[in-house]
């Protein structure tokens, strides 16, 4: 009987040697005359264990990690390919029983790390397209209401109710409507979009197809950043396969629905993660932000009604349809319903992705699951929600991951990325970097962002140099007010968030 061995093809796993590990396992098995099939799955999300090798046994999948290429021969000699555990250093036991896995409720990421992302058969076998089949048996309006009832909010960061957006597009009259997936995941500390696309691309395609049915669109675009070459090839391959299977194109699954999907690659502009800037870029223009209104739901891509959703929002749609809005809405707290895919990065002992219901505390994520700082020093600060998210001190670790609780604390959940810093961090340098980044990445359309960011860098430099410290702190506050109120989009509007939170919580670093 063939033994299945799983070695992730995920870019993060490959970045620490997964390709070499896979090659060595295949070679070692061949040398020993063993019947082994090496499957290149997505990552389970336990990135500190990568490359994580899993061996299928009668009891389930047994893990070994991290496995360096040079460890492979020794591990195979010790019986890794039989799932044997004794006296092997990298042996982890059953992967599903690991604390990191047990703490999760995987809905959006249910198949990531489990299946071969290039295999349409795997997708189908693990209940793929169940959500699409259900949706196709319903009217568009019923699908939209199901999404509204699920409480799903935009996972890209803004948290706007997805169903409400869809309802607007459904109600708009037009000869042409579009579904656009925002996969321009430029926020540092976020990588869930990348891992989903690399680990289970058919689910994103399914979610977009459901959206097309729900609002009456025939054409979709995924705007994927150029920094993710592995994701680009994974998604392009999946789209070709999906067309072959009749999951895209004309008469999808025999329903009469026509929908096709195209990948457009970004070109290194962070601002194109802002939805209107992304639409401009998709139209082949400079990624300049548009003033709203009109909202994209009414006048989006090429002026047509357009659904713009993040990868995770769209990839969550299939499970909502397959299992019902009520099942999804049973997870979470307050108005933050369902699960979210949290990403732990930076200076953290155990980094990776973790999908769980809203309401888990920041401290549980960072300290209990993440294991604190990788350096072994105490954690000093975390930045939640990307470069435009607030810096929070350890004293706020009891905050629940919840859109409203974070907003009340002057922070934001954003795309769910958490970057950990140890006690060596200089927070005035991080505040300076926030302005520097905004100056570098501003599209330049509005003055508060374009000029404010540059003035911000200068003002923080004066504070750091001890020039008129109090006066300049007041000036900084005034500048932050102006950028918050006067910027056209979140780039300039939210840059004050990391700056102000750094001043508020880590005043010592600013000399006060």
Partner 1 sequence: MEVTNPAPMPPAERPQRVREIANSRKGLRGALMPILHAVQEELGFVAQTDVAVIADVLNLSVAEVHGVVTFYKDFRREPAGRTTVRICQAEACRSVGAEKLAEHAKRSTGVGFGETTYDGRLTVDEVFCLGNCALGPAVQIGDKLHGRVTPARLDALLGEAR
Query: Contacts with partner 1: how many residues (CB under 8 A)?
Result: 61
Preceding peptide of 84 cis, ω within 30°: no
Tell which one of 374, 451, 454, 475 touches partner 1 (CB under 8 A).
Answer: 374
Residues 6+ apart with CB under 8 A from 360: 342, 400, 401
For partner 1, which stretch binds (CB under 8 A), given 98-106, 392-400, 432-440, 500-508? 432-440
Does residue 74 touch partner 1 according to CB under 8 A? no
Tell which one of 267, 330, 408, 474 touches partner 1 (CB under 8 A).
Answer: 267
Within the chain, how many helices (H) and strands (E) appear? 21, 16
Does residue 187 touch partner 1 according to CB under 8 A? yes
Neighbouring-strand partners of residue 141: none
For partner 1, which stretch binds (CB under 8 A), given 154-162, 167-175, 264-272, 398-406? 264-272
Does residue 175 touch partner 1 according to CB under 8 A? no
Does residue 268 touch partner 1 according to CB under 8 A? yes
- What phi-psi label fits residue 64: left (phi over 0), alpha (psi between -120 and 50 degrees) or beta? beta
Tell which one of 129, 150, 190, 339 touches partner 1 (CB under 8 A).
Answer: 190
What SS3 state is found at 373? coil
Does residue 194 touch partner 1 according to CB under 8 A? yes
Tell which one of 191, 328, 331, 406 touches partner 1 (CB under 8 A).
Answer: 191
Does residue 11 touch partner 1 according to CB under 8 A? yes
For partner 1, which stretch binds (CB under 8 A), given 53-61, 186-194, 317-325, 458-466? 186-194
Number of other residues whose CB lies within 10 A of the CB of residue 465: 11
Q: How far is CA 438 from the centre of its chain?
A: 21
Kindly report the three-state secondary structure assignment for every residue of 306-348.
EEEEEHHHHHHHHHHHHHCHHHHHCCEECCEECEEEEEEEECC
Does residue 68 touch partner 1 according to CB under 8 A? no
Does residue 16 touch partner 1 according to CB under 8 A? yes
For partner 1, which stretch binds (CB under 8 A), given 27-35, 44-52, 324-332, 486-494? 44-52
Radius of gyration from C-alpha coordinates of the chain:
23
For partner 1, which stretch binds (CB under 8 A), given 34-42, 291-299, 433-441, 481-489? 433-441
- For residues 377 and 423, give the distance between their C-alpha atoms in angstroms, rounded to a whole number: 7
- Cβ distance 415 to 386 under 8 Å? yes
Does residue 421 touch partner 1 according to CB under 8 A? yes
Does residue 14 touch partner 1 according to CB under 8 A? yes
Positive or negative, the Cα torsion across 214, 132, 249, 162?
Answer: positive
* Residue with smaller CB distance to partner 1, 267 or 407: 267
Look at strands 417-422 and 379-384 and give their pairing.
Answer: antiparallel
Tell which one of 145, 230, 260, 404 touches partner 1 (CB under 8 A).
Answer: 230
Does residue 15 touch partner 1 according to CB under 8 A? yes
Which residues, 323 to 352, sit near partner 1 by CB under 8 A? Answer: 343-348, 351-352
- For residues 363 and 368, give the distance between their C-alpha atoms in angstroms, rounded to a whole number: 7
Q: Which long-range contacts (CB under 8 A, 24 or more apart) does 367-375 make?
A: 367/397, 369/99, 369/100, 369/103, 369/344, 370/344, 370/418, 370/420, 372/348, 372/420, 373/347, 373/348, 373/349, 373/420, 373/421, 373/422, 374/347, 374/348, 374/349, 375/347, 375/422, 375/424
For the bound state, the minimum distance from the C-beta of residue 325 to partner 1, rounded and expressed in Å, comes to: 31
Tell which one of 425, 439, 463, 490 touches partner 1 (CB under 8 A).
Answer: 425
Does residue 287 touch partner 1 according to CB under 8 A? yes
Tokens read off for 48: 């500190």
Does residue 433 touch partner 1 according to CB under 8 A? yes
Does residue 229 touch partner 1 according to CB under 8 A? yes
Which helix (H) or strand (E) segment is 469 a member of? helix 469-486
* Residue with smaller CB distance to partner 1, 61 or 380: 380
Which residues sit at the interface with partner 1, rule CB under 8 A? 11-12, 14-16, 47-48, 50, 185-191, 194, 221, 226-230, 262, 264-270, 281-287, 302, 343-348, 351-352, 374-375, 383, 387, 417, 419-422, 425, 430, 433, 437, 440-441
């Amino acid at each position: 009987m063939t033994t299945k061995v799983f070695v992730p093809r995920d870019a993060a796993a490959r970045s620490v040697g997964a390709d070499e590990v896979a090659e060595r396992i295949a070679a070692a098995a061949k040398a020993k005359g063993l019947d082994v099939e090496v499957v290149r799955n997505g990552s389970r999300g336990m990135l500190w264990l990568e490359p994580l090798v899993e061996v299928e046994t009668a009891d389930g999948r047994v893990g070994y990690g991290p496995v360096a290429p040079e460890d492979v021969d020794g591990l195979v000699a010790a019986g890794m390919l039989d799932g044997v555990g004794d006296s092997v250093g990298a042996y982890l036991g059953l992967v599903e029983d690991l604390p990191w896995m047990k703490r999760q409720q995987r809905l959006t990421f249910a198949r990531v790390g489990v299946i071969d992302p290039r295999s349409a058969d795997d997708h189908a076998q693990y209940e793929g397209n169940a959500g699409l089949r259900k949706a196709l048996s319903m009217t568009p309006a019923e699908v939209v209401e199901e999404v509204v009832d699920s409480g799903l909010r935009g996972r890209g960061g803004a948290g706007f109710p997805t169903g409400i957006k869809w309802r607007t597009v459904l109600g708009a009259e037009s000869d042409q409507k579009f579904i656009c997936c925002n996969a321009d995941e430029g926020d540092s500390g976020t990588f869930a979009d990348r891992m989903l696309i690399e680990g289970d691309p058919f689910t994103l395609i399914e979610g977009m197809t459901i959206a097309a049915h729900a609002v009456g669109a025939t054409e979709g675009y995924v705007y994927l950043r150029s920094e993710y070459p592995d994701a680009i090839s994974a998604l392009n391959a999946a789209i070709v396969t999906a067309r072959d299977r009749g999951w895209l194109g004309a008469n999808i699954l025999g329903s009469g629905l026509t929908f096709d999907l195209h990948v457009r690659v970004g070109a290194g502009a962070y601002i194109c993660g802002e939805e209107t800037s992304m639409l401009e870029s998709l139209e082949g223009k400079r990624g300049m932000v548009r003033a709203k209104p009109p909202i994209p739901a009414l006048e989006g891509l090429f002026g047509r009604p357009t659904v713009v959703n993040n990868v995770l929002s769209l990839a969550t749609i299939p499970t909502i349809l397959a299992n019902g809005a009520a099942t999804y809405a049973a997870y979470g707290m307050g108005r933050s319903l369902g699960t979210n895919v949290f990403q732990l990065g930076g200076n953290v002992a155990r980094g990776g992705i973790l999908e769980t219901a809203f309401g888990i505390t920041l401290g549980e994520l960072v300290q209990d699951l993440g294991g604190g700082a990788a350096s072994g020093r105490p954690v000093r600060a975390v930045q939640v929600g990307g470069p435009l998210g607030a810096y929070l001190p350890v004293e706020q670790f009891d905050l629940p991951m919840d859109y409203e609780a974070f907003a009340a604390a002057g922070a934001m959940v954003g795309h769910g990325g958490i970057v950990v810093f140890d006690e060596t961090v200089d927070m005035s340098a991080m505040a300076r970097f926030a302005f520097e980044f905004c100056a570098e990445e501003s599209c330049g359309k509005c003055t508060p962002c374009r000029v404010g960011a540059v003035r911000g860098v200068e003002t923080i430099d004066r504070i750091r140099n001890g020039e008129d410290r109090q006066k300049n702190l007041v000036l900084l506050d005034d500048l932050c007010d102006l950028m918050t109120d006067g910027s056209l989009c979140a780039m300039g509007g939210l840059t004050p968030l990391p700056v102000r939170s750094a001043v508020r919580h880590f005043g010592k670093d600013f000399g006060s």
